[in-house]
Structure 1
Amino acid sequence: MTTLVIGANGQIGRQFCELAQQAGVPIKAMIRDAAQAPWFEQRGIATVVADLEGDFSPAFEGCDEVLFTAGSGPHTGADKTLLIDLYGAMRAVDLAAARGIGRFVMVSALRAEDPQAAPEKLRPYMAAKLAADVYLKASTVPWVILKPGRLTDEPATGRVAASLEETGGENTVSRANVAQALLHLVQARDLVGREFRLLDGERPIGEALA
């Protein structure tokens, strides 16, 4: 029961991997460059070198779940958004389907369902997330989608909200809380076909993502 973490070297990915390792959850961290491996090896986390823009099918060996938390990042252009956040995600879904992966956990974005409502510079990203979500839902792979709000670097509180109504319109969530929420979802293996919004709030993670 091993989870392949695509985007493991990202800010959320690293925090998730560390939490999973501490919790004894079997994972394999997919990294783009062997130079990224020491951070994971020092923590006893298995890695596989593979690139979302290349052939990353071997990374799926021995895995029965996928966590997709990869992102092109805020400093790249729309071309990388298409290749990573959209096409990379779609290819990962196709591989998961072909290999009979038991579940696919997708990190999307709050309000991705309405890209035109996002700030102009974020619209390509939101459109990519929307299309990837739709593609996953239409696939044969059991899925869960997590839609965090605007990300911050605040410390984890373990207290979250699942709607803007709960927060009075505040749309932020710490990356640390997202990582904790992902650990909860990965451990809740019978949870499928659900989409969750995630914001900083007052409810325990397990309650908000029930």
Structure 2
Amino acid sequence: MTTLVIGAGGQIGRMIVRKLHESGKPVIAMLRKPDAELESLGIDIRFADLEEDFSHALTGCDQVIFTAGSGAKTGADKTILVDMWGAIKAIDAANKAGIKHFVMVSSRGAEDPDNGPAAIKHYSVCKKMADDHLLASGLNYTILRPGRLLNEPATGGFSSAMPEAKEAQIITREDVADACIYCLQTSGTVNKIYPLVNGNQPLANALN
């Protein structure tokens, strides 16, 4: 099973690509521009841009992880074009390509943007629109809705219950990367939506 990672230049995407490659799993990194680090590892790279036609990147792939994002430093226009419209285009392209499993890295608050973090409401709306499109697509999916992302090393501890206290709604980027890979390899996660934060359970229990 060959996995295409859309957003491979981002922090989570880069971790996913490296982990899959190091474990001997076929992986393709979709990038907008050259990346010396990934190229030096001998990873298969397909250059494509979410704001253009990128359907060729899915050729020969069986699974997709979508972890692309416009980033906190861009405006709402890029959030719409990348996090929402880019994701919707990726879902449609996956359908046409016969992708067997689509893992979406969404966000806390996407289930109900009116009651999510106010500062990123426009982002939560975009994530909800993308998630809803995936749910209606007919694809086998897994949607992960992680809390606020941290750069610390993986903890290996998870919870799929989003705590009420916002300061506890956190998870490391590496733990999210590990969860994405777990979902690809675990049939029990298909057609499920999981809130995701750091907790006290192993992945197999948290994503049961």
Judge same fold: TM > 0.5, yes or no: yes
Aligned to 1:79, which of 73, 77, 81?
Answer: 77
Moved more, 134-143 or 156-165: 156-165
Distance in 1 between residues matched to 2:101 and 2:161, nearest whole Å: 24
Q: 1:191 aligns with which of 180, 189, 192?
A: 189
Rounded Cα–Cα distance in structure 2 between residues aligned with 1:166 and 1:24: 39
Q: Distance in 2 between matches of 1:193 and 1:159?
A: 23
Task: Show structure 1 runs of 5+ residues with no match.
Answer: none
- Residue correspondences, number: 208
Matched residue, 1:107? 105
Q: 1:4 to 1:189 in 2, by over 3 A?
A: farther
Q: 4+ runs of 1 displaced by more than 3 Å? A: 118-121, 165-169
Aligned-residue sequence identity (percent) comes to 45
2:175 to 171, 174, 177: 177
Residues in 2 aligned to 1:18 and 1:24: alpha-carbon distance in whole angstroms? 10
Q: Unmatched 5+ residue regions in structure 2? A: none
TM-score (norm 1): 0.93
Taking a change above 3 Å as real, the CA distance of residues 168 and 130 of structure 1, as seen in their structure-2 partners, is: closer
Comparing 117-126 with 93-102, greater Cα deviation is found at: 117-126
- 2:23 is matched with 23
**SS of residue in 2 equivalent to 1:44:** coil
Is it true that 1:157 corresponds to 2:155 in the alignment? yes
Question: Quick one: distance in 2 between partners of 1:118 and 1:144?
Answer: 21
Output the amino acid matched with 1:63.
C
Q: Is 2:54 the counterpart of 1:33?
A: no
TM-score normalized with structure 2 length: 0.94
Report the CA distance shift for 1:200/1:174 in structure 2 as closer, same or farther (over 3 A): same
Give how far 1:167 is off: 8.4
Distance change (3 Å), C-alpha of 1:47 and 1:190: farther
- Farther off after superposition, 73-82 or 178-187: 178-187
Contact 1:6–1:66 (CA under 8 A) maintained in structure 2: yes
